[in-house]
Chains A and B, each alone.
Chain A
Amino acid sequence: MTREDVIHVATLARLSLDDEELDRFTVQLAAVLEHADDVASLDTEGVPPTSHPFPLVNVLRDDEVRPSLDRDEVLAAAPAVEDRRFKVPPVLGEAP
């Protein structure tokens, strides 16, 4: 794992890392991935993957109206609210 990889992954993960963090993470993440080489280099041809230990499929419930979270209570926890909606800065471009 290179420093460039770390910069790229940080962008994907919406994290801003400073130079010191980039250096440290490059070394530390490389060490973990090196340890994981026993898995990465294993021949697993034909082995199906497991995403959940208990394969429960089609867990359904009756389509009944029931109470959900209180809207005002939920909005009270939001950093910014307008007209009973979550408020965010401009999505495209800079603020006017």
Chain B
Amino acid sequence: MTTTGSDAVTIAADVRAGRRRALDVLEEHLAAIDAREVDIHAFNLVLADEARAAAAAVDRQVAEGRDPGPLAGVPIALKDNLCTRGIPTTCSSRILEGWRPPYDGTVVARVAAAGAVSVGKTNLDEFAMGSSTENSAFGPTHNPHDLTRVPGGSSGGSAAAVAAGFAPISLGSDTGGSIRQPAALCGVVGIKPTYGLVSRYGLVAFASSLDQIGPFATTVADAALLLEVIAGHDPMDSTSIDRPAPSLVASIGEGVEGLRVGVLTELVDAEGVAPDVRRRVTAAAEALAAAGAKVDDASVPAAGLGLSAYYLIAPAEASSNLARYDGVRYGLRVDAANTADMNAASRTAGFGPEVKRRIMLGTYALSAGYYDAYYGKAQQVRTLIIRDFAAAYERFDLLLGPTAPTTAFRLGDKTADPLAMYLNDVCTIPSNLAGDPALSVPFGSGDDGLPVGVQLLGPALSESTLLRAAAVLEAAVEEER
């Protein structure tokens, strides 16, 4: 869906050199939004006026001989759980409808400082809880490749916005696969960075020990560029890694000669992985081998326990994080005779069914008598998963597997059965539990002609290696065409 010159690297180079005006670039993208947003619903809010002002400011900087930065004039879409000062931030929830944050999230400030132009806030599953964007209080997003299909989730709006050409890049958040799975289903690149590489300050919390912000893009180079801009230490996030931000773009073309790649058995054979998806993983392994990588089968036995551990840990953290929505300081209040009743009335009216389900599950897993059996056990399993990954990374530089079990499924197909929906995350969850980086890169299509993404996983802070391998796969699939 991309045309030549529509990628972020090209746009930024052209705008910085004065060959193109940021305002013209923006108008092209606003026209695309005008044409197709009514069918896709990628956005909760389009910021046309604010974007025009920001683009005009970029053009002024260029005219005055100042460099607007590495994302000069590049339109960007922001997931609507990223705080934007004075601009509504809803998390696709009734409970935050109309709330205007009094501050910008760190990533929001960083992309603006790099010259990017925010075009809007994208739709998501309410509070990022879901795998299809159908849990949004404001209606689902549709997959640009087939409007009867879901875009994946929870960052479905951010993935669809990039796939539809509404913006060349976007930001999402990934707690159990919420960047990688929609990237796979929409045919774009999506990265979940190492936990702590990107500041979470101003990301509305879902499960704090798992949440991580990351980029979507149509090309591997664009994803690397955006990650370079948002990565790095931030004193406002105490879990932020205190090291210099890595250089990612410069090494992207270095190839995979001699790299040891493990095809991760537990992901390839995971519950529900379709044969056409499995075939694409095999093809990706062959492409990496053809480029000089040493490919073999790999095993991370405890990864098989990931889904169960995740659906105890993430809801437990969510039940605690979402206790803040009590109708007192911001968001929805439903009045009642006393504060306790007001809290319950506000939460009951403000949260949708999936959020209530997760709060209930998490409250149960943390409640007296069940804590040790569920939450405590899940945290121990998390240790086992970390150990097994560490053992695998003694033999391999990176691991390969599917991103999602299937191509995009139909809207409504899985809404009645939460467990069936949760199984979409089976391949992506282990990286969140381990805190390690992983990305999804488009690698051809399934039997139904819809995009398939393959996943590359690596040890902490291996983003540069993952991006090199992703660039090899990107080139290989281009050659296949």
**Taking the complex as formed, is A61 at the interface, i.e. its CB lies under 8 A from any CB of chain B?**
yes
- Please list 18 pairs of residues, one from A and one from B, whose beta carbons are closer than 8 Å in the complex, sorted by A's number: A1-B364, A13-B360, A17-B348, A32-B311, A36-B309, A39-B312, A39-B374, A42-B381, A53-B436, A53-B460, A77-B102, A78-B328, A78-B330, A79-B327, A79-B330, A80-B333, A89-B338, A93-B338
Q: Which of B372-412 contact A (CB under 8 A)?
A: 373-374, 376-384, 386
Further contacts, 13 of them, CB under 8 A, given A14-B347, A47-B384, A89-B336: A14-B344, A16-B345, A28-B419, A32-B311, A33-B374, A36-B378, A39-B309, A39-B374, A49-B380, A52-B239, A78-B330, A93-B338, A95-B337
User: Contact check: which of B238, B361, B435 meets A32 at CB < 8 Å?
Assistant: B361
**CB under 8 Å from chain A, chain B span 90-115:** 99-100, 102-103
Asked if A19 lies at the interface with its beta carbon under 8 angstroms from chain B, I say: no
Q: How far is the CB of A48 from chain B (nearest CB, A)?
A: 6
Given A50-B383, A77-B330, A78-B330, A28 and B418 touching (CB < 8 A)? yes
Contact with B along A35-62 (1 / 0, CB 8 A): 1111110101001111111101001010
B339 touches A77 (CB 8 A): no
| Assembly CA distance A73 to B311 (angstroms) | 37
- Residue with the highest number of chain B CB atoms closer than 10 Å, among A10, A79, A86: A79
**Does B287 sit at the interface, judged by CB under 8 A?**
no
Say whether, besides A36-B308, A79-B327, A54 and B196 are in contact (CB < 8 Å). yes
> Contacts A25-B360, A94-B338: A40 and B343 contacting too (C-beta < 8 A)?
no
Chain B 321-353 residues near chain A, CB threshold 8 A: 323, 326-333, 335-345, 347-348, 351, 353
Q: How far is the CA of A15 from the CA of B102 in the complex (A)?
A: 28
Assembled-state Cα–Cα distance A17/B347 (Å) = 11
Binding site for B on A (CB under 8 A): 1, 5-6, 8-10, 12-17, 21, 25, 28-29, 31-33, 35-40, 42, 44, 47-54, 56, 59, 61, 69-70, 73-74, 77-80, 86, 88-95
- Tell me the bound Cα distance from A31 to B351 in angstroms: 22
Q: Is the beta-carbon distance between B339 and A53 smaller than 8 angstroms?
A: no
B232 to chain A, nearest CB (A): 15
Pairwise interchain contact B360-A89, C-beta atoms closer than 8 A = no
Partner of A6, one of B351, B360, B383: B360
Whether a CB of chain A sits under 8 angstroms from the CB of B195 is yes
Complex contacts, B195 vs chain A, CB 8 Å: 52-54
- B377 contacts A73, C-beta separation under 8 Å: no
B209 close to chain A: CB less than 8 A:
yes
Interchain CB contact under 8 A, B305 and A15:
no
Contact among A16, A73, A94 for B102, CB-based, below 8 A: A73
CA distance A29 to B359 in the complex (A): 11
Instruction: Return chain B residues, CB-CB under 8 Å to A36.
Output: 308-309, 311-312, 374, 378
**A91 / chain B contacts, CB cutoff of 8 Å:** 338-340
For chain B, what secondary structure do more than half of its interface residues adopt (helix, strand, loop), or is it mixed?
A: helix
Give per-residue flags for B196-223: 1 if the beta carbon is below 8 A from chain A beta carbons, else 0: 1000000000000100000000000000
Given contacts A15-B351, A77-B329, contact A48 B383 (CB under 8 A): yes
**The one of A14, A39, A79 that contacts B333, using a Cβ cutoff of 8 Å:** A79
Q: Which of B304, B308, B435: most chain A Cβ within 10 A?
A: B308
Q: Does B449 contact A (CB under 8 A)?
A: no
Instruction: A12 to B396: give the CA distance in the assembly, Å.
Output: 46
Chain B residues within 8 Å of A37, by CB: 308
Interchain CA distance A73-B85 in the complex, whole Å: 10
Residue B383 contacts which of A10, A15, A33, A49 (CB distance < 8 angstroms)?
A: A49
| Complex: chain A residue closest to B309, CB-CB | A39
Bound-complex Cα distance A61 to B379 (A): 29
| B137 lies within 8 A of chain A by Cβ | no
Q: Which of B292-326 contact A (CB under 8 A)?
A: 304-305, 307-309, 311-312, 319, 323, 326
Contact status B239-A39, CB under 8 Å: no
